[in-house]
Amino acid sequence: MSVRVSVVGASGYGGGELVRILTGHPEVEIVHLAADTHAGQPMDALFPNLKTFTGRRTEELDLSVLASDSDVVFLALPNGIAMDLVPPLLEAGAKVIDLGADFRLKKAEVYERWYKIPHRSASYLEEAVYGLPELNRAAVRGARLVANPGCYPTAALIALSPVLRHPAASRQGIVIDAKSGVSGAGRGLSLGTHFSEVNENVKPYNVGVHRHQPEMEQALAEAGAAVSVLFAPHLIPMTRGILATCYVRLQEPLAQEAAVDLYREAYDPEPFVRVLTDSLPETKATYGSNFCDVTVRVDLERGVAVALGALDNLGKGAATQAIQCMNLMFGRPETEGLLQPPLYP
């Protein structure tokens, strides 16, 4: 029997990508698309690629209708809104996958410090499962509420985890230098997403003060590695893609081969993580998909391991990872609807 699915925030990039993939999922029925500011518009006017794939219009948000008609509701909203929608949806019996940040951090005060928003649903933070199946599969399966990871943390955590589990890796002074396409900033308008400002430019921002930094530290701590991470994101002139280049000091020698073996062991069973041995990850190889490509390079002389992860920020970094979680939560095959090859070139 199909999973009945609704999307709130269907007019944004996360919402559009969810619908693009969900229309091709063999066991999903889309029941509602909510988008307050564009309510009533045909979805294929908001996303012209979807013409012939959906005749559906976006609707105003009606929580009780949503909850009664849906098995699961995806929330793809600006931060601070989902926290008010999650309690009524859960209480009415729907499951929720939140693509935003409201339920990612376990402590309300950390959320409030970084997001400058009081948390009005702090009692649900404990229950929320951080939806990174590669670290957290069992919990996702049993979850009622999934907090889908941020795009940067997804790339960095998949890239870093295997080497950080090794005792040679120092847990201090980790640096994550990430390069992101512009769609990660959403479909909202700002000078920072204006074509003429972004094109022919590379721009660091929020160095050491980005909100994904505490999310990474928390997730690594939960995975057993209490670390301190310096995160430096950069905006580069492309639409989709994140590359995380992560620098880890080695406190004892670790051979290149042994380092790669850590990745093979961790990810050979994983359907969506591809370990590269003869090349380095590049974002284009993951374009439009749920794949994350990773590898590691050890510089023994300098005592540094460089872990690299590439993905599509709207795919594995957002919408397709959310669908991967949905598959787990509803007992579907984990890869269902997600196995189209990435686009190249």
User: Which 270-289 positions form the footprint of its own copies (CB under 8 A)?
Assistant: 271, 274, 276, 278-289
- Of the pair 50, 329, the CB lying nearest its own copies is at 50
Residues 195-234 that bind its own copies (CB under 8 A): 195-205, 207-208, 228-230, 232, 234
- The piece of 75-83, 110-118, 126-134, 300-308 that touches its own copies (CB under 8 A) is 300-308
Cis peptide before 204 (omega within 30 of 0): no
Does residue 51 touch its own copies according to CB under 8 A? yes
CA end-to-end distance (rounded Å), the chain: 37
Instruction: Find the shortest distance in angstroms from Cβ 60 to its own copies.
Output: 21
Does residue 25 touch its own copies according to CB under 8 A? no
Nearest CA-CA partner of 120 in 82, 93, 150, 90:
82
Does residue 247 touch its own copies according to CB under 8 A? yes
CA distance 295 to 16: 30
Q: How many residues does the chain have?
A: 345
Residue 285 backbone zone (phi > 0: left; psi -120 to 50: alpha; other: beta): alpha
Please name the residues in contact with 248: beta carbons below 8 A apart, sequence gap of 6 or more: 160, 163, 164, 169, 170, 174, 304, 305, 306, 307
- Of the pair 67, 337, the CB lying nearest its own copies is at 337
Residues 176-195 that bind its own copies (CB under 8 A): 177, 179, 181-183, 187, 189-191, 193-195
Does residue 52 touch its own copies according to CB under 8 A? yes
| Residue 151 designated active-site | yes
- Of the pair 139, 239, the CB lying nearest its own copies is at 239
Residue 176 is classified by DSSP as E
Q: Which residues are known catalytic residues?
A: 151
